Structure formats: C-alpha cells, structure tokens
C-alpha cells in the first residue's frame, strides 16, 4: 500500500544527556585486547626494544554532541584514561655488550580526546549512521620504569611518543568507528517499523507501517520525517486515498526543553478508520440491554409518539445499528487538548419480530466525538492512547422509513443514549493504543502531549537501559 508522511521527529540541542550507549561504550574489552607492536631502536651505542605493551585500564567519558547544519553531529570524546604495562631490554652494540631488561608502567596524561562527524542518512527505509573523519589524539605519556639506567628513560619515551602512540590512537579511532558503524546501526536495525496494532478481536486486523523518508541536521536539532500508515493485515485493501495534512515547524521552546519532540498529523487516525470501515467494524448493534442503564426502554411502545406506524408491532423490542454512514475521508482533527472526530452517521432502527429483525426507519446526522489523548511507556515502547469522552449528533434527519412519518426532532434524546452506549465500546476496541516509533531498550520520561492547530505533539526525555 501507499504510505504518507504524517509523523516527524525532531531531536533538540541538548543531546549529551541522551547519548546512546553504543557511543559511550568504546569497548574496554576490545581496547584491552589490542596488540601493540614491539618497538626497537638504536641510541647512544645501544640497541633497545620495548615489548609486551599491554593496556590494562581504559575508560572514556560520555560523548559531547553538537550540530553541524546539513552535515551531521560532531562527536567529541573526552575524559579518556589509559594505563598499561610494558617490558624493556637493551644491549650495548660494542664490547663488553652491556645489557639489561625490566618492566615499566605508562599512562596517558594531558589533553586526550577523540572526535568524529556522525553522519546520519537513510538506508532501506531506516536510519543509518557512519563516522567520518574519526581521529584520536593522545597528548603525552607518563612513563615509570622499574630498574634500568637513567638514560633508558629518554629512549622509552621516544618509543612511546612515536609509533606506540600512533598505534594506540589508531586503535581508539577504529573502536570509535566500529561503535557507530556496527553497534549503533544494529540498534537502528532493531527498530520496529511494522507492528500489528494490539487490539482485541474483531479489531485485530490492522497494522501500522513506519518508514523513514528524510533525516536532516539543522543548526539546533535533527529532523526526521517518518511516513506512516495503518493498513489491513490482509494486504488486499487499498490504502487511505487522501494526502496527509502538512506539519508545521517545531516550536523552539519544545526543542529547548526536551530530548525528543514528535509531531503527528491526523493521518494515522483517518487511515485506521478507513481500514475498520472497509471491514464493517464501524457498525455497532445497540440492544435494549445496552440502554437499560439509562432508564430507557428500547421498544415499539416507547417510540409510538415519534413513529405511530410502529403500532403494527405492539410491546416489541427494538434494536438500533449505529454506523458510520459513508466511507471515511478526513474526519479527524487535533483541537485544543483533544482529538475530535467529525463523521456522517446513520442509525438504523429495527423491530425484533418473531420472524427476525425488520427495518423500520433510518436517522442520519453528523456525529462529533471528542477524545482525550495520553502517552504511556510500555516494555515495548511508547503507546498513544485515545479515550472518547463524549459524542453528539445534530441536526437529525429521517433518511428512510417503512412505517410512515417519523419525528426526528423528538428522537434526539434516544440518539444521545445510543452514542453514550457506543462510546465505551469504542474505547474498549482502542484500549491497546497506537505504538509510536521506538528503539529497543529506550524509556521515555517526563512525557507531555499537546494538541492544537491539527497537530499532536509529544515531547519526551529519554533514558537508555542496559
């Protein structure tokens, strides 16, 4: 099916607190296992070798990220500590060929850091990251030798400041590149882009499909556009035929207060209604039992004043089919702090005769329903919940009748009762909620949701587990 772009993510300037573990954890295990080549040289009539160079301790601070417009995120790694051990030996080149051997310790001192440009792009409909221009710079080494002549110190320092330093810097650079190219992209690969909506039968026939269509780095945020549609699980239905409403620019105050700002148009709601309508699920039968709690008796005797022709079936129960009257188009709107649904509806009245249900008249009118929205964090990610609070229908009109005149104005109270009965049915059907795009292991915190100007905005901070 065809997809449309109703959702946009925007991550703001305050990225350091939310840096992904893949970026913060340059694998100590890998660094500690790095093989650093032995270094040999000649100086002052001696041949020397520094060998068995092993890194025994490695730590790195959290990355600091900054935006580079139209390019990506500049990543800086500071707080790098690195310690290790080594062996040394030397031998005089001339008789009497004085020689000695021993060990020593080293650590990195001064201003040590690593950096690179994190380039974000799209591959196969999902984000992809690559590190460009990765570089590591070790300031200087502090050397402590165990034994040996005093002049040996200068030779060892010379060895470390040359090839050994370069070898360790290359290892750091390679680890940083691997953390992005492999570990981070593995997390992107785990993103759930197609997910069945968690509704109970018979509404368990829809899935949401997310595909990333654009990712752009601005001067103060990363903007990600996601095309999303809700489709029938059978794959045989046509997709919703209308384009989505355009999304406005993100409010700068939202970007400044939250890690992630998500904007959503009404397109997912409209496309979901389209799926349910085509499956005949936007139709509910209201029985006398459903209206008992309202003190209303759904029978021909009750309706005689508004439809005298019902006298043909005295003391007989009735039922009402409440349904969306025509194929949904663009029926949803995000108003101030609520979702509003505006759709044509029809109420088909039946007499429950011994021979079966007999259609007697139809009432039509525009239904306006309001729903409160909330976001919940589940083990699988964030879920958008929709709970209808009220529904009205006016003005009413008689669409068809087989029993003569029907007073539609006097039937408005009945329609109110019917809508009050249908609202909890709709809420039960939608109880599972709408899954939002998410990463495995990511928990949203301090989430707020606002709706205005036909846009739903979800702002969150995030925490990475593990």
Domains of the chain: 15-189 (3.15.10.10), 195-464 (3.15.20.10)
Provide the 3-class DSSP secondary structure of residue 170: helix
Mean pLDDT of 185-204: 88
Closest Cα to residue 448, out of 309, 259, 321? Answer: 259
pLDDT for 52 equals 93
Helical segments of 190-231, H only:
none
Contact partners, residue 305, CB within 8 Å, separation at least 6: 407, 410
pLDDT for 181 equals 82
Q: How confident is the model at residue 24 (pLDDT cuts 50, 70, 90)?
A: very low
Structural Rg of the chain based on CA atoms: 35
Task: Check pLDDT > 70 for residue 142.
Answer: yes
Out of 20-24, 189-193, 293-297, which region has the weakest mean confidence (pLDDT)?
20-24
- Residues 427-464 have pLDDT tens digits of 999 999 988 877 666 778 888 899 988 899 888 887 76
Which position has the higher pLDDT, 229 or 121?
Answer: 121
Mean pLDDT of 43-65: 85
Q: Match 């209303």 to its residue by tokens.
A: 296
Q: How confident is the model at residue 25 (pLDDT cuts 50, 70, 90)?
A: low
pLDDT for 4 equals 40
Task: Check pLDDT > 60 for residue 410.
Answer: yes
- Residues 88-116 have pLDDT tens digits of 998 988 988 889 899 999 998 777 888 99
Mean pLDDT of 12-19: 37
pLDDT for 464 equals 65
Mean pLDDT of 128-155: 85
pLDDT for 447 equals 87
pLDDT for 23 equals 52
Task: Check pLDDT > 50 for residue 12.
Answer: no
pLDDT for 21 equals 47
Name the DSSP class of 299: B
Cβ atoms 418, 286 nearer than 8 A: yes
Give me the chain's average pLDDT, please: 85
Which position has the higher pLDDT, 14 or 129?
Answer: 129
Task: Check pLDDT > 90 for residue 42.
Answer: no
What pTM value is reported for the model? 0.76
pLDDT for 412 equals 93
In angstroms, the Cα distances linking 201 to 21, 84, 206, 270, 431 are 39, 62, 11, 20, 12
pLDDT for 30 equals 66
Task: Give the integer Cα–Cα distance in Å for 358 and 289.
Answer: 19
């Amino acid at each position: 099916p065809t997809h449309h772009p109703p959702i946009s993510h925007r991550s703001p300037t305050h990225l350091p607190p939310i840096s992904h573990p893949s970026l913060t954890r340059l694998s100590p295990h890998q660094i500690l296992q790095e093989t650093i080549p032995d270094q040999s040289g000649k100086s002052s009539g001696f041949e020397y070798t520094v060998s068995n160079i092993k890194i025994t301790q490695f730590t790195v601070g959290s990355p600091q990220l900054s935006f580079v417009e139209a390019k990506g995120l500049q990543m800086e790694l500071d707080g790098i500590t690195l310690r290790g051990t080594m062996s040394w030996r030397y031998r005089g080149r001339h008789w009497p060929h004085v020689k000695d051997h021993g060990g020593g310790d080293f650590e990195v001192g001064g201003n040590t850091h690593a950096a690179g440009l994190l380039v974000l792009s799209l591959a196969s409909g999902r984000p992809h990251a690559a590190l460009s221009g990765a570089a590591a710079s070790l300031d200087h080494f502090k050397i402590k030798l165990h034994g040996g002549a005093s002049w040996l110190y200068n030779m060892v320092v010379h060895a470390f400041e040359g090839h050994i330093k370069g070898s360790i810097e290359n290892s750091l650079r390679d680890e940083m590149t691997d953390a992005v190219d492999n570990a981070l992209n593995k997390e992107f690969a785990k993103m759930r882009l197609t997910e069945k909506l968690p509704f109970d039968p018979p509404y368990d026939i829809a899935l949401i499909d997310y595909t990333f269509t654009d990712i752009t780095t601005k001067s103060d945020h990363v903007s990600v556009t996601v095309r999303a549609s809700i489709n029938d699980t059978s794959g045989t239905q046509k997709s919703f035929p209308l384009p989505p409403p355009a999304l406005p620019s993100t409010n700068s105050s939202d970007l400044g207060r939250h890690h992630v700002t998500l904007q959503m148009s009404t397109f997912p709601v409209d496309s979901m209604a389209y799926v349910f309508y085509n499956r005949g699920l936007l139709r509910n039968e209201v029985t006398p039992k459903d209206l008992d709690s309202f003190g209303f008796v759904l029978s021909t005797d009750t309706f005689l004043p508004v439809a005298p022709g019902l006298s043909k079936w005295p003391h007989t129960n009735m039922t009402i089919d409440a349904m969306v009257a025509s194929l949904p188009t663009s029926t949803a709107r995000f108003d101030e702090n609520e979702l509003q649904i505006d759709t044509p509806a029809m109420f088909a009245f039946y007499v429950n005769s011994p021979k079966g249900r007999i259609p007697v008249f139809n009432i039509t009118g525009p239904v306006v329903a309001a729903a409160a929205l909330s976001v919940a964090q589940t083990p699988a990610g964030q879920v958008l919940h929709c709970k209808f609070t009220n529904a009205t229908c006016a003005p009413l009109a008689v669409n068809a009748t087989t029993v003569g005149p029907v007073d539609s104005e006097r039937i408005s109270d009945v329609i109110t009762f019917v809508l009050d009965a249908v609202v909890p049915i709709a809420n039960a059907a939608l109880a599972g909620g709408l899954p939002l795009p998410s990463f495995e292991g990511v928990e949203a915190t301090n989430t707020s949701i606002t709706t205005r100007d036909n846009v739903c905005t979800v702002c969150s901070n995030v925490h990475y587990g593990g």
